[in-house]
Chain A
Amino acid sequence: MEKLFEIIDLHVSVEGKPVLKGVSLSIYKGDLIALLGPNGNGKTTLFMAIMGHPKYRIEKGDILFNGLSIIDLTPDERAKLGIFYAFQNPVEVPGVINADFLKTALNIKEKKPVSFVKFYHEMNESVSRLQMPLEMTKRSLNVGFSGGEKKKNEILQMLLLNPSLSLVDEIDSGLDVDALNLISEIIKTEHEKQKTFVVISHNSRFFEIVKPNRVIVIIDGLIQVDAGPEMLEVISQNGFASFEGVANHQISSLGLCGVKKGEH
């Protein structure tokens, strides 16, 4: 498999507090990785560090995208490489009209102004796919959107910007069961087009549809498990407690069907 992304011994602190303490991970083209772990153990921090949020300070280590280090790049430069982060809590931007924002983002990605007809066609298609009212594109970006509407709007941006790596952070939270099924199916369909995903979710229903090929567990800022999809069932039954302080190579000895890092 072609390696798309590599994280090497990544140490990240937030406001002086160490959160990631040496994360190493390879992501291959077409991977759909379930990133799991107890709350507050570093999953979102990993996404933020990849995307280049200024509050998340990289103390040590490197992040390579297609073999090139990105840690000195600004967030927009990372986005232009094809990395997309679907926010857990999408930010409200008053006065910025959703459609204007989308069109400008698309212009930037295409490095030229996209014709209104092409943009409208693409936006309309994605909006229909997400079963969103078109009226939402005329409102201020995320302002007054319900939790579910905000999540759909994140996926709308993902569909329009067509990234090669999508980091999807708890997209299921705030979604009703129908919306959850819809978005899960969209991610599944996009994955079938050989797109690469890393998804954080605590919802087993979500993973029943999207079907990750790898499961990674972060506990206390370290990857404790890098295993196949069968690990979902183990976690569902036993929780995360049994992994704490257990090195990855010990997982198989616990009878948890683990695989070692790099065996992909």
Chain B
Amino acid sequence: MNINYEVFDSKIIHNYLSHDSFDYKITSRKAIALILSLKDYGIKTINIYLEKQASLVLSVFDFTKTNTELAINLYLQGKEARCYLGIATIANKVAKKYQVQINNKKPQSVSELEIVSVARNGGNVSVNGYSKIYRNSHQAMVTQKARGVVFDDDSMIKLAPELRIDHNDVVAAHSLSVGEINPDEVFYLTSRGFSKSEAHNMILRGYFRDLVLKSHSQEPDVLYQEVDHV
């Protein structure tokens, strides 16, 4: 389905992000792509409401070297509303805690949650992803995908996708995988002259690539460079 998204990044909504809470309503038939790079923002809660046939792509890139505690609540309260929420986070010596709730309240609403996280040097990532399909939301679709890479024994990733389905005529799926960085991939790249750290960076860039592509960012290189610097 081709949708023309109007793209907003952190610079554009800077004034909103400096507050604790960011509340936003997407009106009927509007399509918005929000790219939130959490650098330097103290935001604690994001609430976004989608009306009939509204579309949202919300991409959160959290490559900050500080602790994060963020709640994201999305309300698909109009028929055929659709959203994609991508969360990309790297916890290097810090803790990242996310509480996500996506509410498919109306028929034919579509939601997709994708979490990609990395923990290294004692970093800690915790994401609770809760998607709910409400009663009478027939033909609603919900997907949750969560992936994590742990670099060392001192780091931890806890991803908890959860689905609650109160209607029968729906499609719902979720997947979860957490593991170590693939040593075969690292060896392959190092055998071509990449140092171990260059290999890690390249693999991580690849790891986040899908989220960067889906974000509609016009400055993907900036995001990749942030990955390199964590």
A: residues with CB less than 8 A from B are: 51, 53-54, 74-76, 78-80, 84-85, 87, 90-91, 93-97, 100-101, 104-105, 108-109, 140-141, 157, 161
Contact = CB atoms under 8 A, between A and B. Distances in A.
Contacts, number: 77
A94 B199 CA distance: 13
B191 A85 contact: yes
Given A93-B206, A95-B208, A53 B187 contact: yes
Q: Which 3 A/B pairs are nearest by Cβ-Cβ distance?
A: A95-B206, A96-B206, A95-B209
Given A53-B187, A75-B187, A108-B198, A157 B206 contact: no
B210 interface: yes
Nearest to A93: B185
Given A93-B206, A95-B206, A95-B210, A74 B190 contact: yes
Given A96-B203, A96-B205, A140-B206, A91 B185 contact: yes
B: contact size bracket: 20 to 34
B196 interface: yes
Interface in B4-63: none
Contacts of A101: 189, 192, 202
Given A74-B195, A76-B190, A84-B191, 4 more contacts: A78-B191, A97-B209, A101-B189, A161-B192
Contacts of B183: 54
Given A54-B183, A93-B185, A108-B198, A75 B191 contact: yes
Nearest to A81: B193
B193 A79 contact: yes
B194 A76 contact: yes
A109 to B, nearest CB: 6
Contacts of B207: 94-95
Contact of B188 (A84, A90, A97, A100): A90
Given A91-B184, A95-B207, A95-B209, A104 B191 contact: no
A157 B182 CA distance: 21
B228 to A, nearest CB: 12
6 contacts: A75-B190, A75-B191, A84-B191, A90-B188, A93-B188, A157-B192
Nearest to B184: A91
A54 B10 CA distance: 43
Contacts of A87: 188, 191
B206 A94 contact: yes
A101 B184 CA distance: 16
B211 to A, nearest CB: 10
Given A53-B187, A54-B187, A95 B205 contact: yes
Nearest to A167: B191
Contact of B192 (A94, A105, A140): A105
Contacts of A80: 193
Contacts of A53: 187
Contacts of B194: 76, 104-105, 108
